[in-house]
Chains A and B, each alone.
Chain A
C-alpha cells in the first residue's frame, strides 16, 4: 500500500482534480478502473494522491511525537525529582482528556489547515511516547555500564546521546511503528469530520466524508478509501508486532 501510493501516481497519470461533468458517478471501466465520483473525477487517482497525504501526514506526526516524547521522557528520567513529578502530572493531564477532543479544541483555536491538524495531533499524542521513553531511559540508566561511564566522568548529556540513545534505537522504531497505525486512524477521523485538508484536495478521511451524500447510491466511493485505511493500518500493526517480538527477543 505504501509502495502503491508512493509510486502509483507515476504510473497512473490522471489528474485527480480534473472534472468531467458528463461522466459523473460512472461505474468502474477500463479508463477509470475504480470509476468516477460525483464530479466525474477519477477515483483511482484520488485514492493514490489521497493516500500520499494520509501517510505522509501520519509519518510527520509520528516523527514529531517521537522527538517531543523523547525530549520530555529524557527530562523526566535525568532531571531532578520535582521536574519528573511535574512533567509526569502534565502527561497524565493530557492523557486524561481524549486526544480527539483536544485536537478538536486546538483546531478550533488555530486556523483550519492540514499543518495545524498535524500540530494538534502531535500535541495530543506525545504523552504516550513520553511515558514509554521515561521508563525505557530509566531502565537503561540502571545498567552497570552506565554506572561505569559515570565513574570515569562522562557528562550526563553525553551519557544520554552516546550511550543510552543508540541502545534505545530499536525500541524507538518499534514504538513509532506500533503508534503509526493509530495515528493514521486519528488523522483520517479528524479529516472525516471536516478538519484538515480543504475539499478539492483528496485525503482518505475526507474522501469518505465526501462520499456520504452519495453512499446509498454509490457505496463504492465510501468503501474503497475505508478499505485502503484498514489494510494499511492492518499491515503496519502486523509489522509493528513482528518488530516488537524481534526486539524483545534480542533483549532476552
Chain B
C-alpha cells in the first residue's frame, strides 16, 4: 500500500474516531442536563402538571429506565434513521427545527466566507508583494485592531451607524441580502484580519525560496514569477487553514445571530441553552463536529490533489 493511501486512510480513521467522540459528547450533554426529559416533553405537549403515571409511561417510551449504554445505542440508532429526538420546548422533532433554520445560517456564512476570502486574499498578496508599503502597514494595523475588537460590540456599533442613524440597512437580521449583509460583514471581519496576515506570511515565505530566486535569475517576469511559480505553492499551504476557517465561521454565527435576532441555527442554540432545551443543543454540537471533520477531510484531499509532492510517492 502506498504511503499516500495509508496516510489518507489514517486521516479518515481519526476523523471517524473524532466523529464518534463528538456523538458521545452530544449524548452526555443531552443526558447530563438537569430536569426530567419525560416531564419536559409532556409540558411541551401542553400538559402543565402531568399525572405520575403519564410521566412513568413517557419515561418507558423514551427508554429512560434502561442503562446508559443501552440508551446511547438507542440514541445513535435513532440518529442513523434520521430521528434526532424532540425539542423539550416545542415538542417538535429537532431536525424539523433545523431544516427551517439551517438555510439562513448557511447563506449568511457563505456570504461571509465570500467576503472574507475576496478581501483577505488580494489584500494579503498585495501586502506581501509591496512589503513595507503604506498598504502593508495599513493592513497590518487593521488586522491587529480587528483581532482585539469584540464582534458583538462592533455589531452594535454598526447597527447604530447604518441602521439607526443612516437607515441604510435593517437593524434586525433576516434571510434577505440586505438583512444578512451587516451580520455577514461582522462575521467576516476577524477572518479578514487573520487570513490576510496568513496569506502575506505564506507568500513572503514562498517568495524567499531558492527556486524563485532561480526563476528570477533566468529572467522570468515578476508577473509570471508570482502567478506561475509562487501562487500554486501559496494555495497549497492555505488549504488547511481556510477549511478550518469555514468550520470556525459557524462559531461566530452563534453570537452574531443573537445580536441581530437573525433566524438561523446560532440564535436557536443560544435560546435553547437559555431555556435548557438540550436535544436542540445536542444536534448543534453534532452538526458543528460533523462540519469540522468534513472540512478537515476536504483539506486533506485538496492537499493531495494540489501538491504533486504528495502524489509522487505513488509512482515511485
Contact = CB atoms under 8 A, between A and B. Distances in A.
Contacts of B152: 189, 192-193, 208
B273 A219 contact: no
A200 B258 CA distance: 22
A237 interface: yes
B292 interface: yes
A90 B17 CA distance: 9
B14 A102 contact: no
Given A98-B254, A99-B251, A101-B284, A234 B273 contact: no
B14 A92 contact: yes
Interface string A210-245: 001001100100110110011101100110000000
A237 B147 contact: yes
Interface stretch (A28-36, A104-112, A164-172): A104-112
B281 A93 contact: no
Given A89-B18, A104-B269, A215 B156 contact: yes
Interface in A80-119: 89-90, 92-102, 104-109, 111
Contacts of B166: none
A234 B144 contact: yes
Given A96-B22, A97-B289, A208 B147 contact: no
Contacts of A205: 150
Contacts of A181: 147-148
A210 B206 CA distance: 49
A188 interface: yes
Contacts of A64: none
B144 A238 contact: yes
Contact of B281 (A105, A185, A226): A105
A8 interface: no
A233 B148 contact: yes
Contact of A105 (B22, B29, B149, B157): B29
B183 interface: no
Contacts of B67: none
A9 interface: no
B156 A212 contact: yes
Contacts of B29: 105-106, 109
A229 B148 CA distance: 8
Given A95-B292, A216-B164, A188 B150 contact: yes
Main secondary structure of the interface of B (DSSP, over half): helix
A177 B263 CA distance: 36
Contact of B156 (A93, A106, A109, A208): A208
Contact of B151 (A189, A216, A234): A189
A34 to B, nearest CB: 17
Nearest to A217: B164
Given A93-B18, A93-B25, A98-B250, A105 B150 contact: no
B21 A97 contact: no
B69 interface: no
Contacts of A98: 248, 250-251, 254, 288
Given A89-B18, A97-B285, A234-B144, A108 B151 contact: no
Nearest to A112: B274
Contacts of A108: 33, 272-274, 276, 278, 281
B153 A229 contact: yes
Contacts of B293: 96
A230 B190 CA distance: 13
Nearest to A107: B273
Nearest to B160: A219
A223 B160 CA distance: 10
Nearest to B251: A98
A115 B278 CA distance: 21
Nearest to A216: B164
Contacts of A229: 149-150, 153
B288 A97 contact: yes
B17 A104 contact: no
Interface string B270-308: 101110101001101100110011000000000000000
Given A92-B18, A222-B156, A189 B150 contact: yes
Looking at B34, B149, B258, the one whose CB has the most chain A CB atoms below 10 A away is B149
Nearest to B274: A194
Contacts of B21: 89-90, 93
Interface of B: 14, 17-18, 21-22, 25, 29, 32-34, 144-145, 147-154, 156-157, 160, 164, 247-248, 250-251, 254-255, 258, 269-270, 272-274, 276, 278, 281-282, 284-285, 288-289, 292-293
9 contacts: A89-B18, A96-B292, A100-B254, A105-B278, A105-B281, A109-B29, A109-B33, A189-B152, A230-B149
Given A185-B151, A226-B149, 14 more contacts: A93-B21, A93-B25, A96-B292, A109-B32, A189-B151, A192-B152, A193-B270, A208-B153, A212-B156, A216-B164, A222-B153, A229-B149, A229-B153, A233-B149
The 7 closest A-B pairs by CB, nearest first: A98-B251, A226-B153, A96-B292, A234-B148, A93-B21, A233-B148, A104-B273
